[in-house]
Structure 1
Amino acid sequence: MYCFIFQAILINILIFLINYSTKITANEVGDKTLTNNNNIRILIKKPKPFEKQYSEENLLALSSYFLSSNVNNTLLKNYRLEFHYCESDDNKKIDRQQPKATSIYLKDTEYVQYLECTIQELKSNHYDIFILDDKFLFSDSSFVENIRLEEYFKFRHLYKNFLNLTTYINDGDLEYHHPRVVMDGKLDKHSLYGLPFELDFDLFYYHNEVQKLENLSPEIMTWENLLNPNFPNGFPHHEFEVKPSLALPLADKNELIHLFIEYFSDKKDLTSERKQKLNANYFDKDSNPEKIYNSFREYILKYSNSDVSNLLKEDYEKVFSSFINKEKKIMKGRASHFAYFKTFPNLTLSSTLPPKNFSVITEKYLVINGHSEKDERVLVEAARVLTSKKMQLYRAQQFDSIPTFDVTRNDPEIKEYCTAHSYLCTSQQQMDLISLKSMFKKNKFSINFMEIRLLLPTALYNFLLDGNVKAISNTFDNIMNVTLYNIGTVNVYFLILYSIMAIFVIFMVAILFMVYKNRDHPYLKVISPIFCILAHIGLISNAFTPILLTHITSPFICKFIYLHGIISRTLIIMPLFAVVFRIFYIYTNKSKVNFGEKLADKYLFIGVVVILLVGIIIGTIVMCVKEFYVVTLVISISDPYIIL
């Protein structure tokens, strides 16, 4: 008994000392002076004031709990956690003096700064662990790469900066997590890089004096009815005769995307089964999405009383204020916001899923920095502990964070959690979850999500302001279908180009035939017909390059075009060089010229062939050593994407 009390006192003293000494900073990103071999440095995105799960106080408590719970862990007993916020340098301005094709990605200043900060630190060894959401993890990974983003942010294949956990952690260790969340932490469904850390999803909050929304039928719980000041029936509406009772934080770029996708899914009735049947064709022009685009804009216009520009400035702080002060009775937020609402003891709230239970999920992952100088075994063990069932239950109890549990499992601890948080588990079981990255992934030619996240908010803002449905329709069509120019998509300009190329090829073939037919003519013999024929073959071959460039569908074709270019250009340049040399030799050595011997083409021909073979060999080596990949170039948000 005394031993237990003494141990408890020691632990409390230890926790006090850690709380006193642990430092969390939002301003020292990348500062090596704080490096300590016994500190595991963790970088997270700087939270907003209402994101209480990542407040300094809670992170200090988490660090204390981590140390106290690992006193008997041989690998971790001497390590503590040191959290840092990823915050951009306020003195560093975004370089907007970029080509138009790059500057269109830099409109969302806040997100661009977050990307710059995170990508910069991923490439260094300043931090050992990162907490990243699914919008960032593998967001650059796609078959078709964006060279503009890679050049601006100075990266390629961000996952190569992560430690591959496949050999350290097997699927059995992750069975308590939701299978979907585990799968999204794997690259190409095989290599594990991200351990599930936290979950979030969209909800509607409402004051308890409002009729229970979760009891309403889908016919009543609709987006349109949510705008009705009298919604739902029995709603005390004497204060709200004009303005809708709903609060939407549309200044938040993520929330704008979430709202649009949930509204779109509702109108398209995109249940999980239906999405599979449609094979992600729901944004294609053939499926007539323009009607829903216009419907969404009319919905926002009605909500804002036609004052869209001011509505798009309403951030979470303003929306929280109007909701907490009961100026608005219903608010669209996220499940994690419940922790913020708990700081207002006089609030009595309930929650429900969006119409037809469509809800966008946000998954957070713990990723180990592959450049860290610390022992990989220590970092893997720390990651395992931080994402363990025990730690997730602790964070859920203390910070109201949402675990990544599979709530359908017959697990006593998970069932106990669901008993205490029934509203969350019930919502997770009922919702038709929407993963944004999966939503925008139609086939291998769909662009990567980082590009979508940078482009889509601007496109939606522009559409809500100007109502140009053609532009927003083109944007979504291009996101889902990168333009591959082929017979089915050729326009009038390509027909003109192909016609000119055809005329050129026919003309060159005719000349080639005439040269061969008159190869023994004395005028032709001076310039050597064989070299003229080789040069013409090179010109004809090179004429097909534009067609090949518009039919790139794999890195193999890129390699073929690269080798084809070497052969074509060599066949053009070297025979012409041989002809020029031949003429030069004749006119500088007139007295020594012997048309039967000195001007024989044998040695010149051998030289051309040798140079051609050397070029092919070097090109083949380059093809084997250098990585070839497919990239897109885009001029504006609504213009077609072109594969190169």
Structure 2
Amino acid sequence: MKSIACYHYISVFFLWILFITKGFAAFQNVSHKRDITNIKILMDKPDSIVSDKWNFANKDNEINNYLSKTMNNVIVNFYYNDKESTEKKSKNEYEDYVKFIIEQLKNSNYDMFILDEKFIFSDVSNIESSYIQDTFHELNIHNYYLNLSDFFEKNKNKMNNNAAFNEIFKNVYSVTSDNNIYDEDMVKGGFNNNILYGLPFEMDLDVEYIVAGQGNQTIQNDNNKILTNIADDDKLLATFVNFMITNGLNNETPDEKSYYNILTNKLEKNKLEEELLIPFSKFIKDKIDNKLTTINNINSFTLNNVYKNFIYNEGNNRSFYGKASHFCSIVGQFENNSLIQLSLLHKKSVRNKKYLVINKNSKIDKDMLFQVALQLSSSDFQTAKYELSCKLPAYNFNVINSNFSNHTYFNNIIKQTSDFVNIKKMFESQFGAPYMEVRAFLPEALKKFIIDGNAKPVVDMLENIQYLVMDKILL
């Protein structure tokens, strides 16, 4: 009996030890999990070409591996709105996109945002927009962004050993670097009223992909058809701006000031319809399709449709007007990469800048979010991201001569780009409408003009954009 009792005693003792051990291990595991902070970042939904190269599970792992070198207590995950249309074909789709971002900024679902420059301060102007107020019930959306200037001031004497902090402090916040890795336009894009809200994160460019055999022909003098997704309002607007620049100067000297004065000059001379709008409509019909008689015709030119046409049609007489971020996907479709040539319009291209913004309403410690934002905005991280997914760094390729292992020809094209076009600046005026209003109304007006040839509504709208002509009615 003693042996049986002893056996039971020993069994109970070991069960108790096992329970305590497992409980302690579970406690350690919970404690460990509590030390990890999960940071959620909202980005735009990748288009159908880029999405093939952006595997979220893999990219999140690679990004977190990078972060673990300096911060081992955070995990970053990227998200997008699955219901978002990657091509905004109407004002309503654009408004839904803006409303979703504003709603996420108001709550704490996402801690950071990757925001397009066409959004970040696009509601800001000298004149308040009744359209923005009535549609989005917000003015000064940037009030939801964390003021990063405060954090740079607070830490400027404390973080001397932080390479990412020093780099961004010198090149973005205080601009004390003689050889800045960012150009002035890139830096200014993250500021509003001298307060820094957005850190340069990445950029994209409008480029033309040409199948070898066509030579170095460009979009405005090529006799062949051009495949481009004019269904997308942003692409149509960028195409219009490129056309303005390449065809609106005549024999004038093409300096930056003249680019951004084209619209004003044409309006003042009453030459907008004759010298810009009618030639633009002719260009669209000659180069894309001469049967654009309905909105449905125009909206059939989606990215997916034109890209398939470009990839799968045989012959050399075709080109695709896409984005630089499409490069890795496109060259992967050809056995011989040298078959694809890239062209920039007169060494000019509409540049799409993106900025990293911290949500002021996030429940996560703001000092930690600031530290993570510095790492994700560093030139080292941007270089690594470019190698992984063809996402162009925001920095100047001519200043940081990174030894990329791939894309040599592509890098050379980017380095030869002498200037970028700021699409928002093309429509700026002292007492004009904010860009968000331009973006909402102008593409639909251009589509209607291409269909019916009536330029007056577009002229009236552009006058309203430039001069806030109150007796002219937006469509």
TM-score scaled by length of structure 1: 0.59
The one-letter amino acid paired with 2:188 is M
Does residue 371 of structure 2 align to residue 372 of structure 1? no
Match of 1:300 in 2: 284
- Percent identity for Structure 1 against Structure 2: 25
Q: Tell me if structure 2 keeps the 8 A contact 1:132–1:367.
A: yes
Q: Are the counterparts in 2 of residues 42 and 131 from structure 1 also a CA contact under 8 Å?
A: yes
Please tell me whether the aligned partners of residues 272 and 432 of structure 1 are also in contact (alpha carbons under 8 angstroms). no
Tell me which residue corresponds to 1:324: 311
Tell me the CA shift for residue 350 of structure 1: 2.9
The aligned residue for residue 30 of structure 2 is none
Q: By how many angstroms is 1:459 displaced?
A: 0.6
Cα distance, 1:364–1:253 mapped onto 2, change above 3 Å: same
Instruction: Determine the structure 1 residue equivalent to 2:198.
Output: 194
Q: C-alpha separation between the residues in 1 aligned to 2:292 and 2:344?
A: 24
Aligned-partner SS, 1:136? helix
Counterpart in the other structure of 1:357: 347
CA offset digits 1:128-183 (Å, max 9, x no partner): 00011011010101111212322322222110000011133464054423332111
**Aligned AA for 2:367?**
R
**Alignment counterpart, residue 344 of structure 1, candidates 333, 338, 345:** 333
Residues 502-549 of structure 1: CA deviation (Å, up to 9, x unaligned): xxxxxxxxxxxxxxxxxxxxxxxxxxxxxxxxxxxxxxxxxxxxxxxx
- Do the aligned partners of 1:41 and 1:127 also contact (CA within 8 Å) in 2? yes
**1:206 equivalent in alignment to 2:210:** yes
SS in 2 for 1:168: helix
> CA–CA distance in 2 between the matches of 1:446 and 1:418?
46
Conservation of the 8 A alpha-carbon contact between 1:88 and 1:113: no
2 CA distance for matches of 1:298 and 1:69? Answer: 50
- Where structure 1 has 5 or more consecutive residues not aligned to the other structure, the ranges are 1-34, 91-104, 230-243, 486-633, 638-644
Secondary structure of 1:145 counterpart: coil
| Secondary structure at 1:480 match in 2 | helix
Equivalent position SS for 1:361: strand
2:61 aligned residue: 64
Which residue is 2:410 aligned to?
Answer: 423
The Cα shift of 1:385 comes to 0.8
Contact 1:186 1:194 in 2 (8 A): yes
* 1:1-150 pair list within 5 angstroms: 38-52=37-51, 55=54, 57=55, 59-71=56-68, 73=70, 76-88=71-83, 107-150=90-133
Are the equivalent residues in 2 in contact too, given 1:87–1:117 (CA < 8 A)?
no
- Shift of the 116–54 alpha-carbon distance from structure 1 to 2, 3 Å rule, reads farther
Q: Which residue of the partner structure matches residue 403 of structure 1?
A: 393
Residues 322 and 150 of structure 1, relative CA distance in 2, 3 Å threshold: same
Structure 2 gaps, min length 5: 1-33, 153-167, 173-179
Describe how 1:235-314 pairs up with structure 2 within 5 A.
244=225, 246-269=226-249, 271-275=254-258, 278=261, 281-286=264-269, 288-291=271-274, 292-303=276-287, 304-309=289-294, 310-314=297-301
AA in 1 matched with 2:47: K
Question: What's the secondary structure of 1:462's corresponding residue?
Answer: helix
What is the distance in 2 between the residues matched to 1:168 and 1:278?
37
- State the TM-score, normalizing by the size of structure 2: 0.79
Aligned CA RMSD, in angstroms, stands at 2.8
User: 2:232 and 2:373 mapped to 1: Cα distance?
Assistant: 30
With over 3 angstroms needed to count, the CA separation of the structure-2 counterparts of 1:423 and 1:479, relative to structure 1, is same
CA distance in 2 between counterparts of 1:50 and 1:403 reads: 19
Higher normalized contact order (CA 8 Å, seq sep 6+, divided by chain length): 2
The 8 Å contact of residues 279 and 442 in structure 1, kept in 2 or not, is answered as: no
| 1:312 Cα offset (Å) | 4.0
CA distance in 1, matches of 2:263, 2:62: 45
Q: What displacement does 1:88 show?
A: 4.5
Structure 2: how far apart are the matches of 1:466 and 1:204?
Answer: 28
2:184 paired with 1:179: yes
- What amino acid is the match of 1:181? M
Residues 166 and 417 (structure 1), Cα distance of their counterparts in 2 relative to 1, 3 Å cut: farther
Query: Which of the numbers 335, 357, 366 marks the counterpart of 2:324?
Result: 335
Partner Cα distance (1:369, 1:283) in 2: 41
1:120 shift after superposition: 0.6
- In 2, Cα distance between the equivalents of 1:284 and 1:322? 38
d(CA) in 1 for partners of 2:320 and 2:204?
16
Residues in 2 aligned to 1:472 and 1:72: alpha-carbon distance in whole angstroms? 53
Query: Number of paired residues?
Result: 408
Change beyond 3 A, Cα 1:391–1:355: closer
Offset at 1:110?
2.5
Q: What residue is the counterpart of 1:453 in the other structure?
A: 439
Deviations 1:6-53 (A, max 9, x none): xxxxxxxxxxxxxxxxxxxxxxxxxxxxx9972101111222221238
Counterpart code for 2:203 = L
